[in-house]
Amino acid sequence: MKRIKMGCTTLSIPAMALGIMRMNQKSVPEAQVAIQAAYDAGINFIDSADIYGGGKSEEIFGQAFSQMQIKREEMFIQSKTGIVPGKRYDFSKEHILHSVDEILERMQLDYLDSLVLHRPDALMDPEEVAEAFDQLQAAGKVRFFGVSNFDTAQFKLLQSCLSQRLMFNQLQFSLKHTGMIDFGMHMNMVDKPSVDRDSQFLDYARLHKVTVQAWSPFQYGMFEGTFIDNDGFPKLNQELQKLADKYEVGKNAIAAAWILRYPANIQMLVGSMNPQHIRDSAKGAKIRLTRQEWYDLYLAAGNYLP
């Protein structure tokens, strides 16, 4: 598994993480198979959130992981907080501290390697978040911190009040979600792709050594479904298959390789609980697409160059 530097540190993490959003749909033995498949492929990074499965995903993970032979220190375990489903976003100190305690209990852990704030809270008080982070770090409950779906200004505002460096920003990025790079190639144009909806965060991340975590790497839209083997995207799947045949892997690996080819210190989040899909996706970290192959996929996904 390809390794990358975590944020501004010298610590190395795998270029892929296993997202456990769907682990609530699995039994404990099935969850163990998924975790082991990821670990054997070099993916020793877990990404969770307190809202996944209403907390059940973390419960299943905790039960599964506690019975496995993998040592805790061999895994980097991350969770997210800040969304109260259907009600509000909540970055209050009280909510953050309480959520972490509940996460640790569900996952049967003494600490999280990383805590990520899950989508921006319009009522965020950066100083209050800073107090929560300081308390969690001092208590040994969280080692590192990050955010999810923050634009550049929001990221900079929060960072200005923290004693810790923010390591991560989770952003949607895939062959069918390319807005973060479209506008750069359509600079000085008046067409739809020229609109910057992401405040140039990829460039900011490269300048300031922030690890971008790409979520929904095989999805189109928000959660409409996967574009892999989807009849609605024949040209893209034809191109994926052509390269899959060349590199002797599956389509997931090629779609993953496309994301990791972009030079922005990206870590891709694999959300599948299917061991075969996990193993195939992991193979993408070993593939370095040529420039033409990367652009051929970009164009096959429905994009165009000015």
CA-CA distance, 182 to 305, in Å (whole number)? 9
pLDDT digits (tens, 9 = 90+) for 139-154: 999 999 999 999 999 9
- CA angle at 304 for the pair 207 and 200, rounded to the nearest 5°: 20
Of 256, 170, 183, nearest in space to 210 by CA: 170
Please, what is the end-to-end C-alpha distance for the chain in angstroms? 35
Confidence of residue 202 (pLDDT cuts 50, 70, 90): very high
pLDDT digits (tens, 9 = 90+) for 44-74: 999 999 999 999 999 999 999 999 999 999 9
Confidence of residue 156 (pLDDT cuts 50, 70, 90): very high
- In the chain, the percentage of residues whose pLDDT exceeds 90 is 95
Mean pLDDT within 238-243? 98
Q: Which of 133-137, 142-146, 149-153, 191-195 has the lowest mean pLDDT?
A: 191-195
Q: Is 220 noted as a catalytic residue in this protein?
A: no
Residue spans per domain, the chain: 3-300
pLDDT digits (tens, 9 = 90+) for 250-281: 999 999 999 999 999 899 999 999 999 999 99
pLDDT for res 224: 82
pLDDT for res 288: 97
Structure tokens at 167: 């390591």
User: Residue 223: is its pLDDT beyond 80?
Assistant: no
CA-CA distance, 97 to 26, in Å (whole number)? 28
pLDDT for res 265: 86
CA-CA distance, 198 to 196, in Å (whole number)? 6
The CATH number of 3-300, from 3.40.50.300, 3.90.1150.10, 3.20.20.100, 3.30.360.10, is 3.20.20.100
Structure tokens at 265: 């210190």
pLDDT for res 9: 94
State the catalytic residue, choosing from 39, 52, 204, 298. 52
Question: What is the β-pairing status of strands 266-270 and 166-172?
Answer: unpaired
